[in-house]
Structure 1
Amino acid sequence: MLKFQDKVALVTGSGTGIGKAIATKFVENGASVIILGRRKEPLQGAATELEGKIPQGVNATVKIFAGVDVADETAMNEMFNTLKNEGTNVDYIINNAGVSGPVTCFSNSPLDEFKSTIAIHLTGTFWGSVQALKVMKEGGKIITISTFFTEERPLEQRPYRFRSPYTASQGAKNRLAECMSWELTDKGIISIATNPGPVHSDRIYKTVYPKAAAEFMRVSGFEDLTPVEVEEAKDDLLECIQADGIDKEGIAKTAEKLANGRDIAKLTEIFTNLLTKIQTIAEKVQNNTSHMIANREFLSQSQVAESVLNLCDDEIAKILNGKVIPGDRVFYPVKPHIGTTTPGVHQPDFTGKAVVFTIDGTDKADAERVEFLAGHVEKNGGKVACFISQSTPQEIQDSISGKFHSHVVDIKNPEEVERWLNTAKTNIGEILAVVHVTGKLPEVGNLTELTRAGWEELVAKFISTPATVAQRTLEQFVPGGGKDPRLFKDKTGAIMIIGPDLPVGRKVTGTQRAQVEVFRGALRPFTTTVNQELSDVLKSKIRMFTIFPGSVTGIEPDNQKIADAFNFLVSENAASSSEVTFCVDESR
């Protein structure tokens, strides 16, 4: 009897690539598989191929769910309801579906694409796992595939420039896998994450590396093209990369399409040179990465599939439940991006300077924090404006509004955030810093028992809204900088995200800590990635710091330590700091 005979595996994003390779390994080992994805044609081709690999004498099947986007709540609900109604028991859920997302500096990343990437990678993983519980029994296993470009070890981050939504969602997925292991233990369901590292795939060679190379060209410039012209041309030009060279006719058509009065022959030559440069840089990135691996070999998709099946082994899975397996093999030296107490600085004089607070508070302690920090700014000569989220409880709104210049606004809306930042600049002066307070994680019981709407509220609160405020603040500091990265050089400014807090008390559970870490897990790589772009790529002195109050020991956060962190953040020393996330109440 084959190892997975009479078992059923559901693999998301399984029409091509790694997902198809995983489905293939399951079939070869006797399992029935359920494959799904957005495009029908690849799934049909994969199904035909998989059916041909079912071992002789094994009663296994291949079932297709076409047109299923893991981010689509309705489609996922209907798929799992169908399986439940059919009496199907699923033994293994492999969360594999993903997209590359926007490959560009965060300042230039469309927020709708940012949110879409989060929805597919993070929410798709969460909701797929939750819905899968309808068709899983004790002994079931949830295997989540993440990336090595998040956290490699505790308190260490790997930035991944041009991939901010990707790193945010992947970091959160790692922590979500841990959290689910706590929450699902009573059901006997095991949750493990694995980070395969660099894998031979079309997505890397034809999408990620070339797009990253094109972004380097947009930022650094190429011949007499403007950044906007590189942006307009890059997608069409990347389509001209072929296995045996480049599509010269396609380049000429791109030049004709974007000529706008320019000499088409000359523009064709420039675009040809640009594409050649992009290919050269992409190959260099690939080569540099391979040199950080002992044998200089990326994994094959089949090897990744083999590792996933190993994690589905009953005994191995019990040992590794709740773990994130760093299988990337990449020696990737990083700076210490995570710190505890910020370096001490002389108390700044904020006279003539404005600080804006954006608040998405949860309880009274959040209001007290804002009042303390705003009072700290005013006491030292600065002016303050507070923009409070509409979703913030009324008592917090009333408390802050009674003490500081405040407005209740929709801080989830980028246009409204931009408008109110402009209003603050007009009324109280040039903005020194914007401080965003996420508020605490509300008491939720188990994340895996949330409704879809409840989950999405948390994603908005702790990921999308901080990103919205941060990006609109960058536009305030560098008007037009998103489209023209040259404008960022030597510009100054500070963004500070505060929260979410670790839970307080002597009887805090592992589940409670793990829930908070899901969203901290998004903000850490996001912060690190954005700062790498601001410093190393855009050559600016603008910095975005994230402060995580609270301690694993459950002590009460100290708002004075956050005020000290703010003093450092707005100092000249901050621009040269490699540490960008501070757990100010931790002593470890």
Structure 2
Amino acid sequence: NNTSHMIANQEFLSQGQVSESVLNLCDDEIAKILNGKVIPGDRVFYPVKPHIGTATPGVHQPDFTGKAIVFTIDATDKADAERVEFLAAHVEKNGGKVACFISQNTPTDLQEYISGKFHSHVVDIKNPEEVQRWLNTANTNLGEILAVIHITGKLPEISKLTELSRTGWEELTEKFISTPATVAQRTLEQFVPGGKDDPRLYKDAKGAIMIIGPDLPVGRKVTGTQRAQVEVFRGALRPFTTTVNQELSDVLKSKIRLFTIFPGTVAGAEPNNQNIADALNFLVSDSSNSSSEVTFCVDESR
């Protein structure tokens, strides 16, 4: 299906024209008006469904008995580790088994905090082969993997993005973009062995992936710059999430879903981990298959 047939007079925009459109869409006022209702296409705009929501629809508490949920953890601070603790306890309380694969870049005290409470291993989560190997181990030892949850951790303390060294910038793009993508890709391979060579195997396959992105900063005195720094990386995860789900549902007719959760609010309120647990309940339910919304700002009221 050549994309050009979907657009007026079958002519793609030049890169310059696309970037000009996107820059205009990023304007604060325009962004508020549009709020995720359109996604810039190659030409003008394809009609799309809304992909960004707030709280997830409520569902009955699922029974996780006999199922495993794997956490891949790139924690930055204690609040990230406490979020893992809250979600893993939620899984165990409802009968499920938990495995935590903690990034070797996570501070040692946080590694110990998590591994003292749950079955854990410290791994190189940037390495696709290692991620694959540990997912296989979890599948063998714990049984069927119901979902994989990747925690990107918060944005580390930085003064200005524009003043970062090249290495510092690459560490951030790895933490918030390529590592979540690596985990998602290897999880898909786990759900559909051989799928990368034969995409037909994805049809009707089930599975759930959740990326918990960086929190918005908390507090009354949060500056626009602090929020914008987080939004740079959230902004990269949004189209990734939308594209992966469109491929899975529309092209491959798969029942696998990838949700991205963004905790916190623009007003600087404290995030509530229960909202993420509710989103997990929804993600693993059958209802999530028909949800066009795949990115959830769970703490925002509108």
Structure 2 length-normalised TM: 0.91
SS in 2 for 1:439: coil
- Does the 8 Å contact 2:12/2:43 carry over to 1? no
Query: Which residue, 208, 215, 227 being the options, matches 1:494?
Result: 208
Structure 2 partner of 1:101: none
Q: What amino acid maps onto 1:523 in structure 2?
A: L
Structure 1 partner of 2:5: 287
Structure 2 partner of 1:205: none
Q: What amino acid maps onto 2:7 in structure 1?
A: T
- The yes-or-no answer on 1:394 pairing with 2:108 is yes
Query: Which residue, 360, 366, 380 being the options, matches 2:74?
Result: 360
Aligned positions of 1:399-410 closer than 5 A? 399-410=113-124
- Does the 8 Å contact 2:4/2:11 carry over to 1? no
Structure 2 partner of 1:470: 184
Deviations 1:413-451 (A, max 9, x none): 000000000111111111000000000001110011111
Q: Number of aligned pairs?
A: 289
SS in 2 for 1:419: helix
Gaps of 5+ in 2: 31-39
Structure 1 CA distance, aligned partners of 2:111 and 2:45? Answer: 48
Structure 1 partner of 2:275: 561
Aligned positions of 1:176-215 closer than 5 A? none
Structure 2 partner of 1:543: 257
Structure 2 CA distance, aligned partners of 1:530 and 1:327? Answer: 16
RMSD over aligned Cα atoms: 2.3
Which portions of structure 1, spanning 4 or more consecutive aligned residues, are displaced by more than 6 angstroms? 324-329
Deviations 1:198-224 (A, max 9, x none): xxxxxxxxxxxxxxxxxxxxxxxxxxx
Query: Which residue, 423, 434, 449 being the options, matches 2:137?
Result: 423
Structure 1 CA distance, aligned partners of 2:125 and 2:41? Answer: 39
Structure 2 partner of 1:383: 97
Q: What amino acid maps onto 1:381 in structure 2?
A: G
Query: Which residue, 181, 192, 196 being the options, matches 1:482?
Result: 196
Structure 2 CA distance, aligned partners of 1:330 and 1:522? Answer: 20
Identify if the C-alpha distance between structure 1 residues 415 and 552 changes in structure 2 by more than 3 Å, giving closer, same or farther.
Answer: same
- The yes-or-no answer on 1:575 pairing with 2:289 is yes
Q: What amino acid maps onto 1:515 in structure 2?
A: Q
Which has more radius of gyration? 1
Structure 2 partner of 1:443: 157
Structure 2 CA distance, aligned partners of 1:300 and 1:433? Answer: 40
Structure 1 partner of 2:300: 586
Q: What amino acid maps onto 1:290 in structure 2?
A: A
Identify if the C-alpha distance between structure 1 residues 328 and 482 changes in structure 2 by more than 3 Å, giving closer, same or farther.
Answer: closer
Deviations 1:261-302 (A, max 9, x none): xxxxxxxxxxxxxxxxxxxx43xx3232116xxxx765578x
Structure 2 partner of 1:239: none
Deviations 1:151-198 (A, max 9, x none): xxxxxxxxxxxxxxxxxxxxxxxxxxxxxxxxxxxxxxxxxxxxxxxx
Aligned-pair distance for 1:333? 1.0
- Does the 8 Å contact 2:11/2:43 carry over to 1? no
Q: What amino acid maps onto 2:247 in structure 1?
A: E
Q: What amino acid maps onto 2:83 in structure 1?
A: R
- Does the 8 Å contact 2:69/2:148 carry over to 1? yes
Gaps of 5+ in 1: 1-280, 309-316
Q: What amino acid maps onto 2:183 in structure 1?
A: V
SS in 2 for 1:564: helix
Structure 1 partner of 2:36: none
Q: What amino acid maps onto 1:522 in structure 2?
A: A
Identify if the C-alpha distance between structure 1 residues 369 and 299 changes in structure 2 by more than 3 Å, giving closer, same or farther.
Answer: closer
Deviations 1:328-352 (A, max 9, x none): 8724211011000000000000000
Structure 2 CA distance, aligned partners of 1:526 and 1:327? Answer: 14
Identify if the C-alpha distance between structure 1 residues 339 and 572 changes in structure 2 by more than 3 Å, giving closer, same or farther.
Answer: same
Structure 2 partner of 1:94: none
Structure 2 partner of 1:507: 221
Aligned positions of 1:110-509 closer than 5 A? 281-282=1-2, 285-290=3-8, 304=17, 323=27, 330-509=44-223
Structure 2 CA distance, aligned partners of 1:395 and 1:436? Answer: 19
Q: What amino acid maps onto 1:389 in structure 2?
A: S
- The structure with higher relative contact order (CA 8 Å, sep 6+) is 2
Identify if the C-alpha distance between structure 1 residues 300 and 473 changes in structure 2 by more than 3 Å, giving closer, same or farther.
Answer: closer
Aligned-pair distance for 1:576? 1.1
Structure 1 length-normalised TM: 0.47
- Does the 8 Å contact 2:212/2:260 carry over to 1? yes
- Does the 8 Å contact 2:4/2:12 carry over to 1? no
Aligned positions of 1:22-33 closer than 5 A? none
Aligned-pair distance for 1:499? 1.5
Identify if the C-alpha distance between structure 1 residues 448 and 489 changes in structure 2 by more than 3 Å, giving closer, same or farther.
Answer: same
